[in-house]
Amino acid sequence: MRIVIVTDAWTPQVNGVVRTLQTIQAELERMGHEVKLISPDLFSSLPCPTYPEIRLAFARSTVLGQMIAAFRPDAIHLATEGPLCLAARRWCLRSGIRFTTAYHTHFPDYVAQRTGLPASWFWRYIRWFHGPAEAVLVSTPSVRQQLRAHGLAQVRKWGRGVDLAAFTPQAKPLAAIAGLQRPIQLYVGRVAVEKNLEAFLASDHPGTKLVVGDGPARALLERAYPRAHFLGSLFGTELAGAYAGADVFVFPSRTDTFGLVMIEALACGTPIAAYPVTGPIDIVTPETGALSDRLEDAIAAALSCDRQVCAAYGRGFTWERSAQEFLAGLHNIDPETLDSAA
């Protein structure tokens, strides 16, 4: 199968969307499919307002259409709601070509936090953007229910996976953890306002707080919470070592749709503490962590979980199954329609 994936999120961004798309592309190609990824690095771009680390690329819909048509795809997937996917969406609709989309992030809540405007305003855009899609791929049952409540009925499951060769309880604990006061409470992800990281850093559970990741809020939070350890971005064996060496993984976000980092932590045997919101409620079980509106209570309860049970549960999330669900959600393009569009 020949698949075009258009995305506004790509390297050098470090986030769950980018990691998911990179891994899915590799998994699909391993399965024998051909994938053309159209991403911001192919075009001129501008920094995103309030978040300059993210570059917004702009291209005319005719240019996107020519790139897509030249590849002769069997299916088109629009991964994000930004300007590149808007241009591809416009070309597909004008040409009568079917496409699918994905809902990776609670975009209305995310933008509302950054602008101070009501989230309901941005749900109008979400309904408009995803409405014409043949299917909207989402990661969890609670997100499917939420989108249906907002009038998007064509939702399909697309779960996530873990690199089980890298994320394992046998990973060598990170050297920076040695000698720190236990319990070690770990956060991994973007250091940005929408991640609600301050709720974790302000919690009063004894022990050591570690923050792995980078982002626009890092300097401010480092000054505000000098006792926390900010390690920057880690990858590969070092990231696995941070997961495996921690006593509990704390996920304070209230705006994520899944939380890839949670299943990576679980695969390393580390239990989860989080709020009872979309993402954690679909992943965390009573045996693998704790959910509470008071984060300190969730941390305390999660510390009693059996790490072997956590690791066994985490191994159930595979990228092979994720790729199969992605393929099942795609919709084939009529070759005659593609010919007329070209």
Tens digit of pLDDT for each residue in 237-250?
999 999 999 999 99
Q: Could you give the CA distance from residue 87 to residue 123 in angstroms, rounded to a whole number?
A: 20
Q: Could you give the CA distance from residue 172 to residue 241 in angstroms, rounded to a whole number?
A: 5
In this prediction, residues 281-308 reach a mean pLDDT of 97
Confidence label for 29 from pLDDT (cuts 50, 70 and 90): very high
- The answer to whether residues 299 and 154 belong to one domain is no
Q: Could you give the CA distance from residue 145 to residue 150 in angstroms, rounded to a whole number?
A: 9
| φ, ψ at 255 (rounded to 5°) | -120, 0
Q: Give residue 219's pLDDT.
A: 96
Q: Give residue 121's pLDDT.
A: 79
Work out the mean pLDDT of the chain and round it to a whole number. Answer: 92
Task: Look at residue 342 and tell me whether its pLDDT is greater than 90.
Answer: no
Among the ranges given (15-19, 254-258, 309-313, 335-339), the one the predictor scored with the smallest mean pLDDT: 335-339
Q: Give residue 49's pLDDT.
A: 67
In this prediction, residues 24-38 reach a mean pLDDT of 97
- The answer to whether residues 100 and 53 belong to one domain is yes
**In terms of C-beta density within 10 A (0-12 exposed, 13-18 middle, 19 or more buried), how is residue 226 classed?**
exposed
- The answer to whether residues 116 and 247 belong to one domain is no
- The answer to whether residues 312 and 180 belong to one domain is yes
Q: Could you give the CA distance from residue 76 to residue 5 in angstroms, rounded to a whole number?
A: 6
For residue 170, being part of any structural domain is answered with: no
Q: Give residue 141's pLDDT.
A: 92
For residue 168, being part of any structural domain is answered with: no
Domain count of the fold of the chain: 2
Q: Give residue 104's pLDDT.
A: 85
The amino acid sitting at 130 is H
Q: What DSSP line would sit under 63-126, residue for residue?
A: HHHHHHHHH--SEEEE--SSHHHHHHHHHHHHHT---EEE--B-HHHHHHHHH-S-HHHHHHHH
Residue 336's domain comprises 2-161+320-341
Percent with pLDDT over 90 in the chain: 77
- The answer to whether residues 55 and 106 belong to one domain is yes
Which residues face 4 on adjacent strands? 36, 76
Among the ranges given (25-29, 52-56, 175-179), the one the predictor scored with the smallest mean pLDDT: 52-56
- The answer to whether residues 190 and 291 belong to one domain is yes
Q: Give residue 132's pLDDT.
A: 98
142-188 pLDDT per residue, tens? 999 999 999 999 999 999 999 999 999 999 999 889 889 999 999 99
Which residues lie closer than 8 Å to 40 by C-beta, 6 or more apart? 7, 8, 10, 55, 56, 57, 84
For residue 202, being part of any structural domain is answered with: yes
Confidence label for 300 from pLDDT (cuts 50, 70 and 90): very high
In this prediction, residues 195-203 reach a mean pLDDT of 96
Q: Give residue 108's pLDDT.
A: 62
Which residues lie closer than 8 Å to 28 by C-beta, 6 or more apart? 3, 35, 323, 326, 327
